[in-house]
Amino acid sequence: MIVFLQGTVHGLGVAYVDLNVKGVGYRIFVPESVALALTPGNEVFLYTHRHIREDADELFGFVEESDRDWFEILISVSGIGPKGALQIVSGTTRDAFVSAILSEDLHALCNLPGVGKKTGQRLILELKDKVRSLGVVAQIAGREVNSGRPAGSPSLQMDVVEALQALGYNEKQAVQAASEVLGLDPPPGTVEEALRRSLQLLAR
């Protein structure tokens, strides 16, 4: 298993880099943003995923380890191969993707390259639990509410507001949505549920 490579950029394509690692050349498929940021002759470190099948042996590379984790979660979904997963990683941000999954925003997912209605539905169905491992926002969303703490407590609202702001909403939007959702009867029982309902409210 090859988990990372460090070497000199020998050549570039739209979505790949040819890396010279001590005289050995590796072609590594990368998100378009990574390819655009690289320059021939410069040194780069990439976290890699090796994908082997009967007719191919390919490497996929990422600047951040969390993006590789995201890619590996995507290829766990039935019907999504590594090239399709790379298109998704290239077409959105990790936090925007987590937001779309948690809010079950099929429209946002279908706007991603290569994602149709059926694929979007599979992403929601198969990844709602798995996205907890993707970055700070997912970690906030996955925290359980203390059973002895009132559901409308300031600390719970702070968690939800923090997660919404990390997803790109401003403070006013985040506070308003969190307050409305936490005022429901019965209120959400977990931060994850409160965040999901807040995202659905903001998506209207």
CB 138 within 8 A of CB 129: no
| pLDDT for 137 beyond 70 | no
95 burial via Cβ count (<10 Å: 0-12, 13-18, 19+): middle
CB atoms within 10 A of CB 44: 19
The pLDDT of residue 135 is 52
Q: pLDDT, tens digit, for every residue of 68-78? A: 989 999 999 98
Q: pLDDT, tens digit, for every residue of 188-202? A: 777 777 887 888 787
What number is the average pLDDT over the span 91-118?
Answer: 89
d(CA 109, CA 71): 15
Phi-psi region of 104 (alpha: psi -120 to 50; beta: other; left: phi over 0): left
d(CA 204, CA 200): 7
* Encoded amino acid at 5, one letter: L
| pLDDT for 81 beyond 80 | yes
- Domains of the chain as residue ranges with CATH: 4-62 (2.40.50.140), 66-133 (1.10.150.20), 142-202 (1.10.8)
| pLDDT for 150 beyond 50 | no
| pLDDT for 20 beyond 90 | yes
The pLDDT of residue 136 is 46
The pLDDT of residue 133 is 55
Confidence band for 143, pLDDT divided at 50, 70 and 90: very low
Per-residue DSSP letters for 107-123?
HHHHTSTT--HHHHHHH
Q: Which residue has the higher pLDDT, 143 or 113?
A: 113
With a pLDDT cut of 90, the percent of the chain lying above it is 45
d(CA 47, CA 135): 16
Counts of helices then strands in the chain (DSSP H, E): 10, 5
What number is the average pLDDT over the span 89-96?
Answer: 88
Q: pLDDT, tens digit, for every residue of 156-196? A: 788 888 888 777 778 888 888 888 888 887 877 777 778 87
Two structure tokens written together for 196: 């999901």
The pLDDT of residue 151 is 46
Two structure tokens written together for 191: 């931060």
H-type alpha helices, 128-190: 135-141, 154-166, 171-182
| pLDDT for 138 beyond 60 | no
CB 95 within 8 A of CB 135: yes
